[in-house]
Structure 1
Amino acid sequence: MVDAEDMITRIEQKSRKIESLIKQYRPVEALKTALEGSPPKTKDERCKSANWNVVHRAIMAIKAVDLMFSSLDPEYYDILMKYLYRGLSTGDRPTCEQCLKIHEKLTQKAGLGCILRALSDTVNTV
């Protein structure tokens, strides 16, 4: 099992990579990188918050939500849905608006099962 400090270090490295991808105008690649290796099984809130910040940065960099799904693999759909609900829970207007835009397209693409899996999974929380 990986300890929290190691996980935080990996999240910081991932954050630098994401910033680089965003600067290169590759937001979908940044989102994929943010979602890869997400620590959903950890109970450490610092790790969850740090990873949320990374995913949030990538979500907010997406401008063409419609085009996002042409290059986002289905393996990321369920974890993305979890993060969208976390974003909606913030109450921050720009974050909520972006999450709702992505939620609509994700639901069209992945179906209602994606929502049900995200809401019913209480073990792997983000």
Structure 2
Amino acid sequence: MGDHVEADNAETIITRIEQKSHKIESLIKQYRPVEALKTALEGSPPKTRDERCKSANWIVVHKALMAIKTVDLMISILDPEYYDILMKYLYRGLSTGDGPTCDQCLKIHEKLAQKAGLGCILRAISDTVNTV
């Protein structure tokens, strides 16, 4: 019974992520990459254990991350509430081993670590329950 609810929930989450993806593409085309990143990070599904949901959301976060051209500006206007979830996604990006993705994640990681401090890194690494 419990698994069935999770499956239905996963479909709902995937649909929401698809809608979010369209919004993000539109924001990137309007040269609003920070808004796109916020949209990608909002309502990220760390509470679900469904890997399809996590992968689908990583795709939209990745799209938004790669659209960031001015990391300093992005960090200066991103609200602190997004720091922890962004840090988790940066580690996911680094784990892909993809060259351009790793380069971008490292650039953002350096600036985010300066701004958000060590606590942000420690929370991202030690939270093994709400993974992205």
**TM-score interval for Structure 1 and Structure 2 normalised by the shorter chain:** over 0.9
Which residue matches 2:84? 78
Superposed CA offset, 1:73-95 (max 9, x none) = 00000000000000000000000
Gaps of 5+ in 1: none
Which residue matches 1:41? 47
Would you say 1:102 and 2:108 are equivalent positions?
A: yes
Q: Write the distance in 2 (CA, Å) between the matches of 1:69 and 1:83.
A: 15
Q: 1:13 aligns with which of 8, 19, 44?
A: 19
Q: 1:56 aligns with which of 56, 62, 65?
A: 62
Which residue matches 1:29? 35
Gaps of 5+ in 2: none
User: 1:84 is matched by which residue type in structure 2?
Assistant: L
Q: Secondary structure at the match of 1:3?
A: helix
Percent pairwise identity: 87
Q: Write the distance in 2 (CA, Å) between the matches of 1:11 and 1:24.
A: 20
Offset of 1:70 from its aligned partner?
1.9
Matched residue count:
126
Q: Write the distance in 2 (CA, Å) between the matches of 1:116 and 1:90.
A: 20
Q: Write the distance in 1 (CA, Å) between the matches of 2:11 and 2:77.
A: 32
Superposed CA offset, 1:46-88 (max 9, x none) = 0000000000000000000011122100000000000000000
Offset of 1:41 from its aligned partner?
1.1
Q: Which runs of 4+ in 1 moved over 6 A?
A: none
Q: Which has the larger radius of gyration?
A: 2
Offset of 1:42 from its aligned partner?
0.6
TM-score, structure 1 normalization = 0.98
